[in-house]
Structure 1
Amino acid sequence: MDVPVWLWIVFAVTVVVSLAVDLLAHRKAHVIGFKEAGLWSALWVGLALVFGAVVFVTLGTTAGTEYTTAWLLEKSLSVDNLFVFALIFAYFKVPREYQHRVLFFGVIGALVFRAVFLTLGVAVVNRFTFVLFLFAAVLFYSSYKILSGQEENFDPGKSFAVRLLRKVMPVQDHYSGTHFVVHEEGRRVATPLLAVVAAIEAADLIFAVDSVPAVLAVSDDLFIVYTSNAFAILGLRALYFLLAGLLDRFHYLSHGLAVILAFIAVKLILQAAHKMISTSIPEIPSPVSLAVIVVILAASVTLSMRRPPEGKEGADTSSAEK
């Protein structure tokens, strides 16, 4: 796809300015409430959709549909990240007023790592089409683990990044405000806040195993896959604070994500077969993929709300009566 340089520049400027505004708006540590999280979520979603409109106008309907599909897919898969964020914050007992700062730097790291992974992924897919079959196998396995309840438990304290950090420098037991590193007895010491950032980055590397193959099923154009990933990641912090405390209510969402991963795996297989075996083998068009993802997500959320998890229905009824 022939992407004009100015569009890359617009994207880069938008991301940098957005991060700067977000950092300035939250320069003072405070607890992010539901209303504030809702406003920021609306802002990030609106920004992603506006950029998508620019892609539609500039690069055409196909590119615009691929961008929207990839963004929605990444947004839905990122819900799993929210559960891990909650686990990490609970494990390290992170004060609520420091959580946004941690996620901010976690997002910056995720943007850098995804740029590397997606660049390599696009290069490999364009050169070796058979890799798509391997990607499909990864997604099928991930889908199976979710549906069978065999998802690997992520232990924040034992993650490679945290263990590496402890080898590089000592980590103190208590928090020192929003500082990541402090000087103690003439030496530099990491605070638990830096360990939390390391754990979040490690978690993102794990999720990239599913995320990168999935988005490459939608498009093999670096501009489409990276910009959609970036805008989905930018809104992750606000989404976390918006849904904090409500994640367990969407208990069917993980099943929906498993179905989406399986569907994307089928799309990858057909895509590879179309290129390697016969052009008569049909591919799944992006508009169809977009429609399927929307329907599955809507069904998962609706079913979760209509059938609360055990132990929640009575609590909800009591709350309603009060």
Structure 2
Amino acid sequence: MYKKIISFIVVIGLLLGVSIYSMITGSIEIGVWELMKGLFTGTNDNVEIIKDLRLPRIVIALFAGAALSVSGVLLQAVMRNPLAEPGIIGVSSGAGFVSIIMITFFPTLYFYTPLFSFIGGAMAFLLVYMFSWKSGLNPLRMILIGVAINAIFTGLSEFLTAQNASSIMSGVSVTSSTLTMKTWDDVGIIVLYGSIGLILSMLVFAWANHLGLSDKTLRNLGFSVNKARFVISIIAVLLASIATAVAGMFTFVGLLVPHIGRSLVGNDHKLLIPFSALAGALLILTADTLGRTVAAPIEIPASIIVAVIGGPFLIFLLRKSDRIYGN
């Protein structure tokens, strides 16, 4: 129990520390006290610039990381597969593809981008289920089908980009993984829909725990397995889609964070979901902060830094865990 409490304290402390560091570091550097004073008084021009340009991307990074991590937790519970992750199984690429289409050809519907992203993510997830079903759901088959679906939607997005290089840039910017030039309007969207998804995820933590048992056992206990899977899947797709629509496509976040969470706080989703939300927020914010400071003035997309971390971790999982093969 002490390990779990300490883990929460450490991740919260790191999250606060990185948030403050991210606010005061960059092209405009400012002291902590000056920042706090300027936020309350509104008389410091540098603080006003930070509030308009830097704070929105910090908030978006926090919510995107939390949403993607919790989405990964829920998908892994639904599929009983530690490799399930919105970026790997195509949910994020499906959401991004539909967003690009709608924003490019129907720019007046920009406000409905989260809805289009959700439709795209849900469509990708349904395709994974449809093509994976063969007298039941095999964990390995679902991951392989998901990788194929992800490749298809990614390829279609790149095709649209190549064919419409000039007119599609506004659409590409919606799903790019660079958090530059995000506004408070973007913050409002991800905070609203992200909060709804995160709250709903906490309401279904007991169902996620139950799905760790076999389907036969659950049905004998009178538990509606299909209903639980459907509801949890919808919440996971909502979280992944809204993060993709506002922050862009990140791979490995929903894979990396849940596994770290399980090693620190255990498999109980009552603790795993909030811990993953905090740790995911920390991961994306750290990656974004490093991306805009380590090689300044050149900015490295946060998704690249996350991929550099997540790639080796995926290899480690493949070598160390038999469960990923569905055994």
> Is the pair's TM-score, using the shorter chain for normalization, greater than 0.5?
no
TM normalised by structure 1 equals 0.33
TM normalised by structure 2 equals 0.33
